[in-house]
Amino acid sequence: MVFYTMIVFPNCKINLGLHVVSKRPDGFHELETVFYPLPLTDALEVLSPGKLSFTSSGIDVPGEQTDNLCLKAWRLLKQDFPELPEVNIHLHKNIPIGAGLGGGSADAAFMLQLLNNRFQLEISKEQLISYAAALGSDCPFFIENKAVYATGRGEIMQPIALDLSAYSFVLVYPAVHINTGWAFGKITPGPPARSLQESIMQPLASWKNTISNDFEAAVFGTHPELITIKENLYTAGAIYASMSGSGSAFVGIFPKNEIGDLNFNPAYKVFVL
């Protein structure tokens, strides 16, 4: 019997600006944000043939293993492709969980693409995006995995010409888990003061005064110690710093290889990209 192993490296994303515009009749919220991919990755390995299973290493993945998004992605495709064989799945988790970095969504989206490629299911990109949307609001982004202006629940995406490869990034995760539902409950929806779609195309030096994350005020009110993370990023020379998603990770954007002293709590995880 010939065994096949495929390994992919799901990457994280950051939010550049995030506005909760309105509450929708379906109970979700209308959002406005910019998603941008960064090269902090998990490692996802699939072995076939095998008996359907899921194991993980690295950061502990909470919840029942049978509820993992990678398994849900396999089951979703199995409904429409009954010939899809069972596989052994192993996830090495490196992207912090509950951080606003989309790690779980990335794992699910990369799983869909891996199965499509390995078993030649010939699923179009548009259909992959539809499958991804069924798994989570952030999942469709990772099918394209390029900078987008996103609305709706985050699944309506418009590509934008945003290239930040000339900069360095610092991600700081303070090991504080922010419950997304709780965070939304602290927000009073409303239209943004400025158009994010226009602001994001202005020089990066202007973002500090024009691009914001609606969740910061709520999170800072409950976790005031997180304010110092943003302050320290600016002290270290960041051109722009913000919380990502509903938190609790923060991102600082710096001139390439010009990062000053990063004075953070030793318990925090800091990634320089």
Quick: pLDDT tens for 106-151. 999 999 999 999 999 999 999 999 999 999 888 999 999 999 999 9
Listed residue (132, 188, 177) closest to 10, CA to CA: 132
Residues 6+ apart with CB under 8 A from 176: 223, 226, 247, 248
Whether 1 maps to a domain, the answer reads no
User: Is 163 in the active site?
Assistant: no
Residue 62 above 70 pLDDT?
Answer: yes
Binding residue per annotation — 106?
A: yes
pTM given for the model? 0.93
pLDDT at 31: 92
Quick one: 148 and 204 in the same domain?
Answer: no
Starting at the edge strand found earlier in the chain, the sheet holding 53-58 runs 4-8, 43-48, 88-93, 53-58
Residue 2 above 70 pLDDT?
Answer: no
Quick one: 153 and 171 in the same domain?
Answer: no
CATH code assigned at 120: 3.30.230.10
Quick one: 144 and 209 in the same domain?
Answer: no
Quick one: 153 and 37 in the same domain?
Answer: yes
Looking at 42, 138, 214, 230, which residue is catalytic? 138
19 contacts 119 by C-beta, under 8 angstroms: no
264 contacts 232 by C-beta, under 8 angstroms: yes
CATH code assigned at 263: 3.30.70.890
Binding residue per annotation — 96?
A: yes
